Amino acid sequence: MKILVIHGPNLNLLGRRQPEIYGRLTLKAVDAAIKSLARELGVNVIKIIQSNHEGDIVEAIQEASDFDALLINPGAYTHTSIAIRDAILSVHIPTIEVHLSNIHAREEFRKNSYIAGVAIGQISGFGLNSYLLGLRAAVGIARDEKRPYKTTGR
């Protein structure tokens, strides 16, 4: 089973970026926790990338057509990127959207996600656990394509 994890813009600054919102864990620590859970869950390949560039994220998704699932925190591109949404639609990769903070409890502009409508689901507001819950969901989807609800955005 192959799972791709993408961290979007500014997530390289985790730990020192608005710690009151995003916590004090560094991206390195987040990645270590993701890899450790992936091992526990028997994931063969876990590829993790971070990029501040929309086009790089689009290309990484385009190249992931042989992956079983995508776990993505699109950062601020969540609220702006039709290109990332289209890339997900183009490769038909089951996608789980995650956010450290609860995007629905913050500024109005963060409530809209261009990704949510093409994702299996969104996990938002649980810090590191958003990623870990998302990984569990991704593995479950990769193991068994049965989904409780069909997404309408595809």
Minimum CB separation of residue 32 from ligand DQA in Å reads 18
Task: Locate 97 and state its tokens.
Answer: 């959207």
Is there a contact between 51 and 61 (Cβ–Cβ < 8 Å)? no
Nearest to ligand DQA of 85, 99 (CB atom): 99
Which spans in the chain are helix H? Answer: 19-22, 27-41, 54-62, 82-91, 128-143
129: which DSSP letter? H
Q: Which residues bind ligand DQA (CB under 6 A)?
A: 10, 73, 75-76, 78, 99-101, 103, 110
Catalytic residue among 22, 77, 114, 131: 22
131 is catalytic: no
Minimum CB separation of residue 38 from ligand DQA in Å reads 19
Nearest to ligand DQA of 8, 94 (CB atom): 8
Nearest to ligand DQA of 13, 45 (CB atom): 13
Catalytic residue among 77, 99, 114, 131: 99
From residue 105, how far is each of 20, 99, 102, 108, 140 by CA, in Å?
Answer: 14, 12, 6, 8, 28
Minimum CB separation of residue 154 from ligand DQA in Å reads 22
Task: Locate 3 and state its tokens.
Answer: 């799972």
Indicate which residues carry an active-site annotation. 22, 99
